[in-house]
Chains A and B, each alone.
Chain A
Amino acid sequence: MISRRRFSKIAAGTGLALAAPALSTSSLAQAQPIKIGTSISLTGPLSGTKNALTGYQLWRDDVNAAGGLLGRPVELVTYDDQSSPAQIPAIYSKLVDVDRVDLLISPYGAVLSAPVMPFVKQRDLFLVGMFALAGNDTVRHDKYFHACPWGPNSQVNWARGFFDLARAAGCTKVAIMSADIEFAKISAAGGKAISEEYRMSVVYDQSYPPNQTDFSAILRNIRAAQPEAVFVCSYPPDSTALIRGLSEVGIGDSVKIFGGSMIGLQYASLLANIGPALNGIVNLHLYVPEPTMRNPAIDGFLARYEPLARAQQLDALGHYVPPFCYAAGQIIEAGVKGANTLNHAQISRYLHANPVQTIVGRATFNELGDWTEKRVLMVQFRGIRGRDVEQFRQPGRQVILDPPPLRTGELVAPFGAARSG
């Protein structure tokens, strides 16, 4: 007959033997990393944004140093999309179907993000958007959250700050010029809508081919139209050529405010290249080192970014893209920790209901996943001397004029006076 003690031993042994595989599987699962997938434009015309990877990597390192997410380490799975939308469907299918990533971040900008949106909608996946203006307005996916503070109805509203400044300066006649390219066209359309709303007459409205290098004829035509505000929607190569043309041809005495949506004037290489010719231009930015913007978190981030940028020959300043990539990670972190799961619906529900503190500010999301509060800066270049990049790290060189809560100075106008530095 079997004794009670012997029975207990056998029962415990059997139980342990039965539970062992489950225990080992469970501990293995715990050790499995949480995979976050995205594509980055390492090559092609958008390769200027490849420092996005550094932003993601710094966040990954921080979150892993703090114990990971749900007790699991975080792993990034990234591919080069070659700045081509044609590559995106296959890359995101690879991320989801082959690499089995747990969460997705979109590629950079509206053009590359557009093919991802139907994909995530059809599969009902969580996605953090990166820099796509009105990225979710067409698909209206309920699991989309934007890492950039373009704000609601961004297609029209994001450049409103420029027109608010123009109106405050008494401008009634506006000239709009744009490159024949996606972001610039969206910006120009938004600018026209706001001009109409503010009853400003559009005295010049022309687009130019993206490879335009000589702006002297265009600038002369604008000068002849005698606008008081010139809203420019350009991309990096034409931004540089246009500013050079501006120095040679001028724009006339009628202009009080010039700039608005010039992409490229956020990157160190272009800023250093253009130098003092930047003075007086009012342009968009998302972060500048002004006292109203700085906080220990972003200062710490940039202090870690700068040596990496030097070593990897990335954008020396890193003010435009990398902090928002870090913020994308923080949004994921907040959602996963808040919902305590990787379930996309529950993460989305949590993020819709709760604000997220990021290094670029506090994000509260509306039903489309846009920040409820627009935080696009309009900054005026002032006191730029020589071509030293270091000066763009100092306050007072990119003075914030809009939005009012972050303002660090008033508009210097007319434009001719502001140009003198």
Chain B
Amino acid sequence: MKRQDVAFAAGAIVVLLMGFGAVHAVANPYFFFAGYVIVQYVVLATAWNILGGYAGYINFGPAALYGAGVYTSALLLKAFGAPLVVNIVAAGLVGMVLGLMMGYLTLRVQGVYFAIATIALVIMLETVVHNIEYLGGARGLALIAPEPPAWAVGRTQFVFLVLLAIAVMSVALARWIERSWIGRGLRALRASEEAAECAGVATLRLKLAACAVSGALLAVAGAPYIYYASYIDPGSAFSLTLGLNTIAMPLIGGTRSWAGPVIGALLLASVQQAATVTISSELNVLMVGLALIVFIAAAPDGLIGLAERLRRKMHA
């Protein structure tokens, strides 16, 4: 094991221990309500970046996979009273299958056409949910989640900890992909799909793998939501705003490495949470739009790329 891997593993354990400690040390549940949203975006941005950042296939439909996870979990909770861990695994499997189906799209469509096709997936799944009465249809579904384990202090704290664990695992997986032969293959694919294929890179298999992993993680991010809000509706689960945020965060942080989406999500989601209870209103969405324009113009490789550029300039 390399020194960097040891440092990463130690950092991951520290994050988990800090989360567990915070649940017991901080009495005010609000911080876990807000923290849940921030950590959820860390998972979403990391998951999106595996396909959108590493492979360069822009998925405009992360909300479709997230929504699929939300509704899979709610379905299992309503039908069987399934525990959260089962719901998370099931959501991951559903997301993986949907991701694979999306991956097969790449056989026929690329670039902007792929992006448009992924938007269609959001509309399709939302329409399906609208027409399933058992899932509440357009009116939404209210479910009271079971009591959390005693060690978790409260329900919000429990789902926060679960999502924090998911976030740590997602980031670890993204980091492993980035540094493995898969990551190298995906980078080649992003640079030039034809050239990569000529050089012997198994592009289809890599694209399918990236779609499946990205899809599974996006869906897993949605699984605990019903435990958090006790209510789901198609408008929130398949929200285009959620999709926009998910794409904006890696672009702001940087799409080339695992740290970019984490930094982007922590920054943007924290500012948004603060804005909701301070300046509020349209400024929230405007902020995302402005941040995107600024970063695309001034720092196309995100904060990580900007820092790298500044470091090089200083050493030059």
Which A residues fall within an 8 A CB radius of B? Answer: 42-43, 79-80, 82, 84-91, 93-94, 97-98, 110-111, 114-115, 117-119, 121-122, 138-139, 180-186, 209
Bound CA–CA A122/B229 (angstroms):
13
Which B residues fall within an 8 A CB radius of A? Answer: 28-30, 33-34, 36-37, 127, 130, 137-140, 142, 144, 155-156, 228-231, 233, 235-236, 239, 241-242, 273, 276-277, 280-282, 284-285
A89 and B33 form a contact (CB under 8 A): yes
7 more A-B residue pairs beyond the given contacts A90-B33, A180-B138, with a C-beta to C-beta distance below 8 A = A82-B281, A85-B140, A87-B276, A89-B229, A90-B30, A93-B29, A114-B233
When distances are taken between beta carbons in the complex, the residues of chain A under 8 Å from B277 are: 79, 90-91, 94
B228 and A89 form a contact (CB under 8 A): yes
* 27 A-B contact pairs sorted by A residue (CB < 8 Å): A82-B284, A84-B241, A88-B229, A89-B33, A90-B30, A90-B34, A90-B273, A90-B277, A93-B29, A93-B30, A94-B30, A94-B33, A97-B28, A97-B30, A110-B139, A114-B140, A118-B231, A122-B155, A180-B127, A180-B130, A182-B139, A182-B140, A182-B233, A183-B139, A185-B137, A185-B139, A186-B139
When distances are taken between beta carbons in the complex, the residues of chain B under 8 Å from A180 are: 127, 130, 137-138
B30 and A98 form a contact (CB under 8 A): yes
B130 and A85 form a contact (CB under 8 A): no
Q: CB-nearest residue of chain A relative to B276?
A: A87
Bound CA–CA A134/B36 (angstroms):
29
A84 and B230 form a contact (CB under 8 A): no
Bound CA–CA A121/B239 (angstroms):
27
A85 and B138 form a contact (CB under 8 A): no
* Candidate in A84, A90, A115, A186 with the most chain B CB atoms within 10 angstroms: A90
Query: A-B pairs with the 5 shortest C-beta distances?
Result: A118-B230, A114-B231, A80-B280, A182-B139, A90-B33
B29 and A115 form a contact (CB under 8 A): no
B236 and A43 form a contact (CB under 8 A): no
When distances are taken between beta carbons in the complex, the residues of chain B under 8 Å from A79 are: 276-277, 280
Bound CA–CA A80/B242 (angstroms):
17
A138 and B29 form a contact (CB under 8 A): no
B30 and A182 form a contact (CB under 8 A): no
Taking the nearest CB of chain B, how far is it from the CB of A18, in angstroms?
Answer: 32
When distances are taken between beta carbons in the complex, the residues of chain A under 8 Å from B130 are: 180
When distances are taken between beta carbons in the complex, the residues of chain B under 8 Å from A118 are: 142, 144, 230-231
Bound CA–CA A139/B155 (angstroms):
17
* Candidate in A93, A110, A183, A209 with the most chain B CB atoms within 10 angstroms: A93
* Candidate in B28, B29, B138, B285 with the most chain A CB atoms within 10 angstroms: B138
B276 and A91 form a contact (CB under 8 A): yes
Bound CA–CA A114/B139 (angstroms):
10
Bound CA–CA A184/B231 (angstroms):
18
A138 and B142 form a contact (CB under 8 A): yes
Q: Knowing A80-B276, A118-B231, say if A90 contacts B282 (CB, 8 Å).
A: no
Taking the nearest CB of chain B, how far is it from the CB of A141, in angstroms?
Answer: 12
When distances are taken between beta carbons in the complex, the residues of chain B under 8 Å from A119 are: 230
Bound CA–CA A118/B281 (angstroms):
26
B33 and A111 form a contact (CB under 8 A): no
Q: CB-nearest residue of chain B relative to A181?
A: B138
Q: Knowing A88-B229, A90-B273, say if A43 contacts B282 (CB, 8 Å).
A: yes
Q: Knowing A80-B276, A118-B142, A182-B138, say if A85 contacts B229 (CB, 8 Å).
A: yes
When distances are taken between beta carbons in the complex, the residues of chain A under 8 Å from B233 are: 85, 111, 114, 182
Taking the nearest CB of chain A, how far is it from the CB of B237, in angstroms?
Answer: 9
When distances are taken between beta carbons in the complex, the residues of chain A under 8 Å from B34 are: 90, 93-94
Bound CA–CA A80/B276 (angstroms):
7
B139 and A90 form a contact (CB under 8 A): no
Bound CA–CA A117/B281 (angstroms):
24
Q: CB-nearest residue of chain B relative to A78?
A: B280
Bound CA–CA A378/B147 (angstroms):
44
Bound CA–CA A306/B171 (angstroms):
55
Bound CA–CA A97/B281 (angstroms):
22
Bound CA–CA A86/B67 (angstroms):
13
Bound CA–CA A289/B130 (angstroms):
37
- Among B37, B138, B144, B228, contact of A185 (Cβ-Cβ < 8 Å): B138
A114 and B142 form a contact (CB under 8 A): yes
When distances are taken between beta carbons in the complex, the residues of chain A under 8 Å from B276 are: 79-80, 82, 87, 90-91
Taking the nearest CB of chain B, how far is it from the CB of A179, in angstroms?
Answer: 8
B281 and A43 form a contact (CB under 8 A): yes
B30 and A115 form a contact (CB under 8 A): no
When distances are taken between beta carbons in the complex, the residues of chain B under 8 Å from A186 are: 139
B138 and A93 form a contact (CB under 8 A): no
When distances are taken between beta carbons in the complex, the residues of chain B under 8 Å from A181 are: 138
Taking the nearest CB of chain A, how far is it from the CB of B287, in angstroms?
Answer: 13
When distances are taken between beta carbons in the complex, the residues of chain A under 8 Å from B285 are: 43
When distances are taken between beta carbons in the complex, the residues of chain B under 8 Å from A111 are: 139-140, 233, 235
Bound CA–CA A43/B279 (angstroms):
12
Bound CA–CA A88/B225 (angstroms):
13
When distances are taken between beta carbons in the complex, the residues of chain A under 8 Å from B139 are: 110-111, 182-183, 185-186
- Among A86, A90, A91, contact of B236 (Cβ-Cβ < 8 Å): A86
Taking the nearest CB of chain B, how far is it from the CB of A192, in angstroms?
Answer: 13
Bound CA–CA A184/B140 (angstroms):
12
Q: CB-nearest residue of chain A relative to B282?
A: A43
* Candidate in A84, A89, A91 with the most chain B CB atoms within 10 angstroms: A89
Q: CB-nearest residue of chain B relative to A184?
A: B138
Q: CB-nearest residue of chain A relative to B123?
A: A209
When distances are taken between beta carbons in the complex, the residues of chain B under 8 Å from A110 are: 139-140
Taking the nearest CB of chain B, how far is it from the CB of A108, in angstroms?
Answer: 14
B28 and A84 form a contact (CB under 8 A): no
Bound CA–CA A115/B285 (angstroms):
22
When distances are taken between beta carbons in the complex, the residues of chain B under 8 Å from A84 are: 235-236, 239, 241
When distances are taken between beta carbons in the complex, the residues of chain B under 8 Å from A42 are: 280-281
Taking the nearest CB of chain B, how far is it from the CB of A50, in angstroms?
Answer: 10
When distances are taken between beta carbons in the complex, the residues of chain B under 8 Å from A88 are: 229
When distances are taken between beta carbons in the complex, the residues of chain A under 8 Å from B33 are: 89-90, 93-94
Taking the nearest CB of chain A, how far is it from the CB of B279, in angstroms?
Answer: 9
Bound CA–CA A135/B30 (angstroms):
24
Taking the nearest CB of chain B, how far is it from the CB of A118, in angstroms?
Answer: 4
Bound CA–CA A252/B251 (angstroms):
55
B228 and A80 form a contact (CB under 8 A): no
Q: CB-nearest residue of chain B relative to A97?
A: B30
